[in-house]
């Protein structure tokens, strides 16, 4: 099970290689990449902050839960931190299992859990300013008074 | 109730920027809870007050409730809404 928070570049290849298994008929790899706009505003780049030791703990717990829940052979989660340019990969989720259906379901479930509870934060930097983003799916926003939710 | 040991508080992302620090040590009152330590941090950095309604907490790298007791020597992270991925 490959779990890593790192400032170095991460790749689909690395995720796919990490979950390879003779018992797998399917390997599904998801890449989260940096987009050039958000909510109609042009994004220059992103800066990711993290609580690395806890983030890796949460990612490991998510991967373990995904393996049990979807009967996976293996699961890898890599998250990059620091400054990322447009088009660069911020998140790699790779799963391997017997068949395609559970590979898609498990991949989506893992990404959703990462967005809920892994302590990583992104700051959007625009031409004329910057802002730390509060994820609408995060546990923190879900506990917020309704008036604060976006 | 006297001080008994210390607690390390970690700040991240918007909280770290607003406070101008990522880490502080506070004396720990006996029986203090997560919420009470949080209140002490906010008293020291009032600019963090608006973030409180959406904060999550972690004690020694595990999510913890506001009423959880803080043991001496432990690390309390104040966790604003996460936005990884």
DSSP state of B33: B
- CB spacing of A135 vs B83 below 8 angstroms: yes
* CA A11 to each of CA A32, A44, A101, A110, B21: distance values in angstroms, whole numbers, following the listed order: 10, 22, 23, 17, 32
- CB spacing of A54 vs B61 below 8 angstroms: yes
End-to-end CA distance of chain A: 35
B45-62 pLDDT, tens digit per residue, is 999 999 999 999 999 999
| Angle at A84 (CA atoms; ends A110, B55), nearest 5 degrees | 55
| Burial group, residue A85, by CB count within 10 angstroms (0-12, 13-18, 19+) | exposed
Chain A closest-CA separation from residue B35 CA (Å): 15
B3-59 pLDDT, tens digit per residue, is 679 999 999 999 999 999 999 999 998 889 999 999 999 999 999 999 999 999 999
Q: Does A9 touch chain B (CB under 8 A)?
A: no
Domains of chain B: 3-79 (3.10.20.30)
Residue of B nearest to A112 (CA): B85
The answer for residues whose C-beta is within 8 angstroms of residue A128's C-beta and 6 or more apart is none
pLDDT at position A150, please? 47
Q: Does B77 touch chain A (CB under 8 A)?
A: yes
Chain B closest-CA separation from residue A150 CA (Å): 12
Domain ranges for chain A, please list them: 3-128
- Tell me whether 0.90 is exceeded by the ipTM: yes
CATH 3.90.1170.40 fits A3-128, yes or no: yes
Q: Does A10 touch chain B (CB under 8 A)?
A: no
């Amino acid at each position: 099970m490959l779990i890593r928070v790192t400032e170095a570049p991460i790749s689909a290849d690395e995720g796919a290689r990490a979950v390879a298994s003779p018992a797998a008929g399917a390997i599904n790899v998801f890449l989260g990449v940096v987009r050039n706009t958000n909510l109609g505003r042009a994004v220059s780049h992103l800066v990711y902050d993290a609580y690395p030791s806890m983030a890796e703990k949460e990612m490991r717990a998510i991967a373990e839960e995904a393996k049990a829940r979807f009967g996976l052979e293996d699961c890898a989660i890599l998250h990059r931190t620091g400054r990322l340019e447009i088009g660069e990969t911020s998140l790699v989720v790779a799963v391997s299992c017997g068949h395609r259906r559970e590979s898609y379901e498990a991949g989506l479930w893992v990404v959703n859990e990462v967005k809920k509870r892994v302590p990583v934060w992104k700051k959007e930097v625009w031409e004329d300013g910057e802002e730390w983003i509060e994820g609408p799916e995060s546990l923190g926003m879900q506990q917020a008074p309704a008036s604060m939710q976006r | 109730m006297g001080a008994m040991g210390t607690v390390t508080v970690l700040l991240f992302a918007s909280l770290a920027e607003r406070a101008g620090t990522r880490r502080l040590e506070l004396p720990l009152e006996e029986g203090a809870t997560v919420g009470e330590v949080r209140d002490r941090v906010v008293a020291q950095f009032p600019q963090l007050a608006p973030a409180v309604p959406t904060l999550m907490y972690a004690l020694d790298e595990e999510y913890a409730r506001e009423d959880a007791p803080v043991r001496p020597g432990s690390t309390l992270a104040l966790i604003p809404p996460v936005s990884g991925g």
